[in-house]
Structure 1
Amino acid sequence: MRTHPPPIIPLITVLLTKHLKDWVMGTAVLSKNEILRAAKKGEIAVTPFDAECVGPCSVDLRLGNEFKVFAKKKGTKEVKDAPDAIGRDAFKRVVLRGGETLSLKPGELVLGVTKERVRLSKKYCAVIDGRSRFARIGLLVHVSSSLIQPNCDNVQVLEIANLSPFTLKLKPGLRVCQVVFHELSSPAEYKGGFRLQKHP
């Protein structure tokens, strides 16, 4: 019996429908209920967890007490494709105690960390974003590096910059940013050097 090729239009429709479904599922942002459900399954963890920090589709993260500030404010540094892009001696570590604050002058940048650790299964990635109230005063919490890779279990390093005309005082515990979770179209695993980072 002679067979006929399948009609091209229905075939294209099926393929497009499948790929559209994969694309939608692969870029889906988790809502509050889905975040809590994934956390209950152990697929997502924010530690320490505070239910009051969970919003409609994100979780607020608090500022930790450890920072890295530039050791020198002048000179020339070569940028390299390495974890310490301009060398280990470019920064000095600052740890705040008690009620201490860190003063961030206009135009300055420091590295901070979140108080919380974020752990993701191979099923999810996430993105760090600022909060509107701080963006409106010129306080940036990440310069360009916002992606949290799948299979990470780490504190989040924040590239905090002050674009305002004022010196801003940063206090640990401030709900400074938020994390948004995305479900991947298929499981993936990050094995890089920052996967288990604990310090900025």
Structure 2
Amino acid sequence: MGILTRSEILRLIEERALVIEPFDPSQVGPASIDLHLGREFRIFRPAREIFHVTDEADHRLVTELVEVEDYFLLLPGQAVLGITEERITLPDDICGWIQGRSRFARVGLMVHVTANFMQPGMVRTRQVLEMNNAGPIPLAIHPGTAICQIILEECTGRARYEGRFQGQEHP
């Protein structure tokens, strides 16, 4: 068991065990797959009351969905939810990890704040990105940019994700 390399990733895609839509082989590096930023973002509304963090918490109650054509301006200290263009289906014996890209981290962009794990057996799911500008300068983030990468890993055993974010389409 271990991290999948380019040849194994391409083999799984060829066999349709791993599905990435849209996909271009140039997205696959030595041991990762680049994912592109979509056009939709969820921005936080100004706080008016306390938000209770419980099992029933729903981020949609304190955010609004916006779509951009050119870029989204992420201010220093600001957090926003983005989403990948790609929809991913993982086999039930492969999990994944979302990682930021160093070229963007060097200017303060954090692509995922906490939730970087992709469950085995997820189906046609776009990945939500908990983006934060930890740097001192405003960042214009452009849809279509290869904003992050996923690293795939073989699981011991098989499992199938059936949680509430299966098949998510919006941040």
TM-score (norm 2): 0.95
Q: Match for residue 107 of structure 2?
A: 137
Q: Could you tell me which of 94, 104, 120 is aligned with 2:66?
A: 94
Question: Amino acid of the residue matched to residue 127 of structure 2?
Answer: Q
Extract unaligned runs of 5+ from structure 2. none
Counterparts in 2 of 1:106 and 1:74: CA distance versus 1, 3 Å: farther
Question: Amino acid of the residue matched to residue 33 of structure 2?
Answer: V
Q: Match for residue 135 of structure 2?
A: 164
Counterparts in 2 of 1:147 and 1:83: CA distance versus 1, 3 Å: farther
In 2, are the aligned partners of 1:68 and 1:94 still within 8 Å (CA)? yes
Q: Could you tell me which of 16, 41, 44 is aligned with 2:18?
A: 44
Q: CA deviation at 1:143?
A: 0.4
User: Counterparts in 2 of 1:168-187, with a 5 A limit?
Assistant: 168-187=139-158
Secondary structure class of the residue paired with 1:42: coil
Question: Amino acid of the residue matched to residue 170 of structure 1?
Answer: I
1:67 aligns to 2:33 (yes or no): no
Counterparts in 2 of 1:74 and 1:164: CA distance versus 1, 3 Å: farther
Q: CA deviation at 1:73?
A: 4.5
Structure having the larger proportion of residues in helix: 1
User: Counterparts in 2 of 1:8-157, with a 5 A limit?
Assistant: 25=1, 28-73=2-47, 75-82=49-56, 84=58, 88-97=60-69, 100-153=70-123, 154-157=125-128
- Partners of 2:82 and 2:145 in 1: CA distance: 12
- Partners of 1:108 and 1:182 in 2: CA distance: 32
Larger Rg: 1
- Partners of 2:23 and 2:51 in 1: CA distance: 40
Secondary structure class of the residue paired with 1:34: helix
Counterparts in 2 of 1:83 and 1:191: CA distance versus 1, 3 Å: farther
Question: Amino acid of the residue matched to residue 104 of structure 1?
Answer: L
What CA RMSD, in Å, does the superposition of the two structures yield over aligned residues? 1.3
In 2, are the aligned partners of 1:43 and 1:123 still within 8 Å (CA)? no
Question: Amino acid of the residue matched to residue 127 of structure 1?
Answer: W
- Partners of 1:180 and 1:195 in 2: CA distance: 19
* Greater than 3 Å deviation, 4+ residue runs: none
Q: CA deviation at 1:131?
A: 0.6
Question: Amino acid of the residue matched to residue 39 of structure 1?
Answer: I
Could you tell me the percent identity over the aligned residues? 41
Extract unaligned runs of 5+ from structure 1. 1-24
- Partners of 2:57 and 2:8 in 1: CA distance: 34
TM-score (norm 1): 0.82
Q: CA deviation at 1:195?
A: 1.3
- Partners of 1:39 and 1:165 in 2: CA distance: 40
Paired residues, what number? Answer: 170
Counterparts in 2 of 1:182 and 1:83: CA distance versus 1, 3 Å: farther
Secondary structure class of the residue paired with 2:8: helix
- CA deviations 1:128-163 (Å, max 9, x no partner) are 001111111110000010011111120000000000
